Structure 1
Amino acid sequence: MRVCYAKFLPHDFLECHTNDAINVLKSMRSAFKWFEEFFPRVWELSFYSVLLHDLGKCASGFQKNPQKWGYRHEILSTPFTAFLDLPENERNLVALSILTHHRTLDEIEEILPSKEHREEFNEKVGELLQNRDYIEEIFFERIPYWELYFFGRRKGVFKPPANWTDQIGNYDFDSLLSWYEKNTKKYWNELIFLRGILNASDHLASASELGIRLLSDIKTAVELRVSPERWRPIQRQAGETEGNLILRAPTGYGKTEAALLWANRNAFRTKKGVSSRIFYVLPYKASINAMHSRLLALFREPELVGVLHSSSGFYLYSSELEYKRLSSLYRKIYTPLKVTTPFQLMKPFFGVGFPEMGLTELTGSLLIFDEIHAYEPNILGIILAMLELLRERKVRALVMSATLPEFLEQLLRDVLKPNLLSTPPEEADRFTRHRVNVIEGSMDDIEELLTEIHADGPILVACNTVSRAMDVYSRLREDYKAMLLHSRFTYGDREEKERELLANLNDYDIVVATQVVEVSLDISFSTILTEPAPLDALIQRFGRVNRRGFGKPQDVYVLTHGSDGDKRIYPIEVVKESIRLLKELDGKPLLESTVPKLVTHAYEPLSSKLTDEVRTYYEQAIDLFKDLRPLKSNESERRFYEMFHGLEAVPGAYQDRALELIKQGMSIEVHRYFVPVPLWLYASEHEVFHRLSDSGPGKYVLVAELEYSSELGLQREPRSGGEIW
């Protein structure tokens, strides 16, 4: 008798892989009991989906060489569902989940055997039956024991007749497709869950994981960091609040601990721990990485705290973690707490990747949004639409901010119907850390302006654009020990600069930086001189001065004029109103209790327009998401990548090094040489970009033939001697 393998290199017997996948399924059933409220038969039907999903791999051609076989094993697995003693609708649900567990229905239906064209299918069924002895004597014989293990009793649902080999070849795929077209809306949830759970079970079993992870008690972890007698009132209140919540509190007040205590109160639990999936959502990679490191210190195991963004693999690699294994696991229903961008949560709603698995994981989850004010109206609209639809899936959300304008709070309240918590004014004012000074002028006068500022340590000079920061740094570097920090350095150079600042900040007179300094480094400057910006952005920048809040408020300095490039970044009306408000506070402390109202006033000139924009994007997203069809590819997937796909390029000076690393099989190291490239720069200078040859099958590395140095970063000038394509 031949054996049948489900996986190769390393080899894994079909019955062993099936057993592993059933173990994962059993772990999920124990953790996600509330799924039954959406779909009472979810676990029984999922069991039979997992049981039969890979039987088609017994075809002799697959066993000889799966890469060269040229057929889809799912097509051969699906007919076995005909032998399930279940109502027709349930059999079809199981069949569709198996048929689409690797490819979407529209991708695979082109090669499905119709009644008229079955020659290739019959040939592959013949290959399958060459291993009939294994199927009957090994696989079929184990099914009652798998049922006993999973259900606690033998159910006898799978009943292949004596002539089962004839019936496999006669399976009616046309009727299955017809049933799908007629019943998609009626069984939308069931199709989502069955494909999502099968994908999760299959993927984790293939990764040699036999179950999902749960968090231990969150409250206990927080207590180990901050003893309960030192909890602030708002932290205690958050831990007692059930349901959606908007939380306002000053920077440094302990919002993260408050969010975790809220999650502890609202989570689903089993005897083994917290089973709800928790997503901590932040807008910037740097702040995501910092939060991941912070939460990992709290929960200790990297399997419990994940990180997801476009370059999280390199972050894990740089952190000396098991980046290949963990990057894979974090994209599955495995890790209970993930720090991520909103774009990762949006993917299932746009049909990206395995959307059914994403929607399944989001069901019953807890979403924590920090710094939600930082998003553009289109992103806010999509987030609101996502939250609206997730309310129906037992999802709860916490939104927290120190600088949330009222127009945005109202939009959130309309969708979430939340509880509201805010720090009492007298308590907030204890965190007053800054005294505002408004200076007439611009960075054109930087040399003279610095003579008017008295500082006892390093000064932060904050610019709105990279080009402005480069110019200011170039003028100061001769007379001061200065460093330049912005977003257009390679990841390797930026990592080195940040490491240097963390270790030796006091050795520098001045650090010239763009907005990257608002979210990346946990360091404290003696003061700041900044270009004008919206008030919420300015407050984030002020947060780099007197970070711990000790002693009296420290001076911060705001210029009245920026540069022409600012209008590409910030709404000018909001910037002007922000400066007008700060002029009224000139020379006075910026009381923390006044920050929410000040931010609201700053946005008043555009609040109506921004509200309309957000609502328009919200309505468009709702319409788009409601058209999502389970198991099918979606036009919205293309739109997602058009809207949110960022660009990264290797400076021309490093392209030979990048190619060498790729040839050595060290592609992860190439990431050190990537520079984020804004789309406007790519559009305006597209003639200096080209693809690196030989960067691998199906992959490419973008090269920017622009001047680059580790001191200044990627510049706008074409590279000397660089080839223009």
Structure 2
Amino acid sequence: FAAVKTVLHLADWLASAGKLDADFLFLKNGKNQIQNHMCEKGYKLRDFQEEIQGTKGNVNLRAPTGVGKTEALLAWAGNAERILYLLPTQATVNAMWLRLREIYGEDAVGIAHGRASYLLRKEYEDEALDHRLFASVFAKPVVVATLDQYLIGHLHGRHWEERVTLSRHSAVILDEIHSYEPYTLGLLVEALERDSPRRLALASATLPDAIVNLLGKGTLIEAEEDLWSRKRHKLQIEDAPIEEALGGIVASAQNGQRVLVIVNTVPKAQALCKEFLQRGHSNTYLLHSRFTFRDRQHKEALVDEHGPGTILVATQVVEVSLDISYDTLFTELAPLDALVQRMGRVNRAGKKPPVPVRIFLKWDKGSEWVYGPEILGLSASLLRGLPPEPTDGELRAVTNLLYNKVAEQEGYLREIQEGSETLAYVQEVLGCYTMDLREDDLRERFVTRHRGVVSVDVLPEVYLGEAHRMVERGEKWRLVELMVPVPVYWVFGYLKEWFYSSEDLGVYVTSLPYSRELGLEPPDKECAPGYGFV
């Protein structure tokens, strides 16, 4: 049923787009395109890239950051008729979309996530049907998407027939596979068992054994030993809160270093940024999830251009979203896999001697609310066992140890089972039908992640005038530029005091203070449990 409906829909859409044949739906000469790209960039293939290029079936790739993992995965995909590249966040998808367009050409590469239609409308003023629709259903030759979009297809969301059918005939790449919670992995396990793609690649700098055992029915390929033997970081583990290092952070910046400071909650990031500015260090910048879409895009575009003496204060948004390389890192304690990602944002290519990384083990209630005390305590214990200058291989090994310990816990296994059973139930109940979100039982199952906080976009009151002008110009589609994601319980728990609905704009508006420097500041923390989530 799904395959027949996909053919009929594609034929209809092709005709509407004025396409005389279906050739533009398929990737041509993908192998030559990636090879030409690597030659133009002066890349010399590493051993693991040569190996993966010659592997025909499924693969599991484990390679450190900054050694050409993406190029290796594309070389593996080679002459596939279509490539589906799946990533954990919209920011990583946006960056990869731009990157792959340079390789395969703008018309061949599509993007699919919650805000993709805005990006395409901004890119192509005529909002051409093939750019907007074909990408959303995975019908472009190369599509970069969040894993959520893939799973929504298997949960029978809108246009599920096209997504499932076309991904079945794709080379599917699951990059940063370590990033997902167990419930999401459970959904993925069931989806792959029911509709396995033509070829599948799993990839991560750590790629824990537990993930390989769960999903990895393919050839394990690891980067060569000399890449794992690199020593990029000099660890300093401190039994103190990060607030005790403010003087050292400023001193490092004054010595000409580009300093990266990563904390676990937005309020703490805002507080530290204010403190550095009050101390007279004007070359301080802030990045977190609670900026408007426009401001965050602007900040992310400039984040690696800040010169010597910069302090960048950030939250988890830098872990898998940005390709940056700063000189030194000060970070709060986080789970080891997150710390490895944070460390990958300093001395990224390993071209310098080991650079300072100071990790502060004393956590507050905000960090505990985000990660839980058990995993923080276990991460701290494992960190103390590392040498002062660990190799990438040693970091991988200790992360693998943590992940395997977590994966043995009853709660972890139960969440995987719950995800698997949810997808199986939805498909068996719906059969060939599409999800009806008016049905309470099905709507509750139509989620791809359990952890974290469900967000809703709100408009800072300071931008009300600009929003109305956009609508008056017929540009309501641009309202997304001005929106900020906040926890849904902020809106419905504090609606009268800080939030109200704008009927003419069709959005929620907030009176909370907003600035381009600090973003949206939270409600009184004493009134908002869990206020600090990223």
In the alignment, is residue 426 of structure 1 matched against residue 226 of structure 2?
yes
Q: 1:363 Cα shift?
A: 2.5
Instruction: Specify the SS of the correspondent of 1:236.
Output: helix
In the alignment, is residue 380 of structure 1 matched against residue 185 of structure 2?
yes
User: In the alignment, what sits opposite 2:272?
Assistant: 472
User: In the alignment, what sits opposite 1:403?
Assistant: 206
In the alignment, is residue 583 of structure 1 matched against residue 384 of structure 2?
yes
Instruction: Specify the SS of the correspondent of 1:519.
Output: coil
In the alignment, is residue 231 of structure 1 matched against residue 45 of structure 2?
yes
Structure 1 residues 244-283: aligned runs within 5 Å: 244-264=58-78, 267=80, 275=81, 277-283=82-88
Give 2:120's aligned amino acid: L
User: Structure 2 vs 1, CA of residues 596 and 615 (structure 1 numbering), >3 Å: closer, same or farther?
Assistant: farther
Q: 1:222 aligns with which of 22, 30, 34?
A: 34
Q: 1:660 aligns with which of 465, 469, 474?
A: 469
Maintained 8 Å contact 1:655/1:692: no
TM, length-normalised to structure 1:
0.66
User: In the alignment, what sits opposite 1:97?
Assistant: none
User: In the alignment, what sits opposite 1:285?
Assistant: 90
Structure 1 residues 428-447: aligned runs within 5 Å: 428-430=228-230, 432-447=231-246
User: Structure 2 vs 1, CA of residues 603 and 642 (structure 1 numbering), >3 Å: closer, same or farther?
Assistant: closer
Give 1:710's aligned amino acid: R
TM, length-normalised to structure 2:
0.88
Q: 1:306 Cα shift?
A: 0.7
User: In the alignment, what sits opposite 1:347?
Assistant: 152
CA distance in 2, matches of 1:521, 1:376: 21
Give 2:488's aligned amino acid: L
| Root mean square deviation, CA, Å | 2.5
User: In the alignment, what sits opposite 2:56?
Assistant: 242
User: In the alignment, what sits opposite 1:294?
Assistant: 99
Q: 1:332 Cα shift?
A: 4.2
Give 2:508's aligned amino acid: L
User: In the alignment, what sits opposite 1:611?
Assistant: 413
Q: 1:689 Cα shift?
A: 2.9
CA distance in 2, matches of 1:327, 1:230: 36
User: In the alignment, what sits opposite 1:690?
Assistant: 500
CA distance in 2, matches of 1:318, 1:193: 32
Deviations 1:351-381 (A, max 9, x none): 2112222222223222100111111221111
Q: 1:343 Cα shift?
A: 1.4
Deviations 1:13-32 (A, max 9, x none): xxxxxxxxxxxxxxxxxxxx
CA distance in 2, matches of 1:321, 1:338: 20
Q: 1:194 Cα shift?
A: 2.0
Q: 1:683 Cα shift?
A: 5.1
* More displaced 10-residue stretch of structure 1: 278-287 or 226-235: 226-235
User: Structure 2 vs 1, CA of residues 559 and 683 (structure 1 numbering), >3 Å: closer, same or farther?
Assistant: farther
Percent sequence identity is 31
Maintained 8 Å contact 1:532/1:561: yes
Structure 1 residues 303-702: aligned runs within 5 Å: 303-319=107-123, 323-325=127-129, 326-332=131-137, 334-391=139-196, 395-413=198-216, 417-430=217-230, 432-450=231-249, 456-479=256-279, 480=281, 481-503=283-305, 505-506=306-307, 508-585=309-386, 588-609=388-409, 610-631=412-433, 633-634=435-436, 635=439, 638-639=443-444, 646-682=455-491, 684-687=493-496, 688-695=498-505, 700-702=506-508
User: Structure 2 vs 1, CA of residues 196 and 217 (structure 1 numbering), >3 Å: closer, same or farther?
Assistant: same
Q: More helix by proportion, 1 or 2?
A: 1
User: In the alignment, what sits opposite 1:192?
Assistant: 2
Maintained 8 Å contact 1:473/1:483: yes
CA distance in 2, matches of 1:192, 1:409: 30
User: Structure 2 vs 1, CA of residues 681 and 397 (structure 1 numbering), >3 Å: closer, same or farther?
Assistant: farther
Q: 1:333 Cα shift?
A: 5.7
Maintained 8 Å contact 1:314/1:323: no
User: In the alignment, what sits opposite 1:181?
Assistant: none
Instruction: Specify the SS of the correspondent of 1:247.
Output: strand
Maintained 8 Å contact 2:426/2:442: no
Maintained 8 Å contact 2:325/2:345: yes
Give 2:423's aligned amino acid: A
CA distance in 1, matches of 2:117, 2:273: 32
In the alignment, is residue 207 of structure 1 matched against residue 10 of structure 2?
no
CA distance in 1, matches of 2:447, 2:504: 25
Instruction: Specify the SS of the correspondent of 1:525.
Output: coil
CA distance in 2, matches of 1:576, 1:199: 53
User: Structure 2 vs 1, CA of residues 531 and 330 (structure 1 numbering), >3 Å: closer, same or farther?
Assistant: same
Maintained 8 Å contact 2:87/2:176: yes
Instruction: Specify the SS of the correspondent of 2:61.
Output: strand
Instruction: Specify the SS of the correspondent of 1:506.
Output: coil
Give 2:200's aligned amino acid: A
User: Structure 2 vs 1, CA of residues 251 and 205 (structure 1 numbering), >3 Å: closer, same or farther?
Assistant: same
CA distance in 1, matches of 2:446, 2:426: 15
Q: 1:563 Cα shift?
A: 1.9
Maintained 8 Å contact 1:490/1:673: yes
Maintained 8 Å contact 1:306/1:339: yes
Maintained 8 Å contact 1:333/1:361: yes
CA distance in 2, matches of 1:459, 1:600: 28
Which protein has greater RCO, CA pairs closer than 8 Å, 6+ apart?
Answer: 2
Maintained 8 Å contact 1:349/1:628: no
User: Structure 2 vs 1, CA of residues 229 and 538 (structure 1 numbering), >3 Å: closer, same or farther?
Assistant: closer
Q: 1:605 Cα shift?
A: 4.3
* More displaced 10-residue stretch of structure 1: 549-558 or 524-533: 549-558
CA distance in 2, matches of 1:399, 1:450: 37
Instruction: Specify the SS of the correspondent of 2:19.
Output: coil
Maintained 8 Å contact 2:151/2:448: no
In our comparison, the structure showing a higher alpha carbon Rg is 1
Maintained 8 Å contact 1:438/1:560: yes
Deviations 1:513-572 (A, max 9, x none): 111122333332110100000111111111111122213221211111122111232132
Q: 1:691 Cα shift?
A: 2.6
Q: 1:633 Cα shift?
A: 4.7
Give the aligned length: 506
CA distance in 2, matches of 1:469, 1:451: 15
Maintained 8 Å contact 1:309/1:344: yes
Give 1:254's aligned amino acid: G
Maintained 8 Å contact 1:488/1:677: yes
CA distance in 2, matches of 1:446, 1:376: 32
Give 1:260's aligned amino acid: L
Maintained 8 Å contact 1:200/1:333: no
Q: 1:311 Cα shift?
A: 0.8
CA distance in 1, matches of 2:203, 2:491: 34
Runs of at least 5 residues in structure 1 that lack an aligned partner in the other structure: 1-190, 268-274, 719-725
User: Structure 2 vs 1, CA of residues 510 and 320 (structure 1 numbering), >3 Å: closer, same or farther?
Assistant: farther
CA distance in 1, matches of 2:43, 2:464: 56
Runs of at least 5 residues in structure 2 that lack an aligned partner in the other structure: 525-534
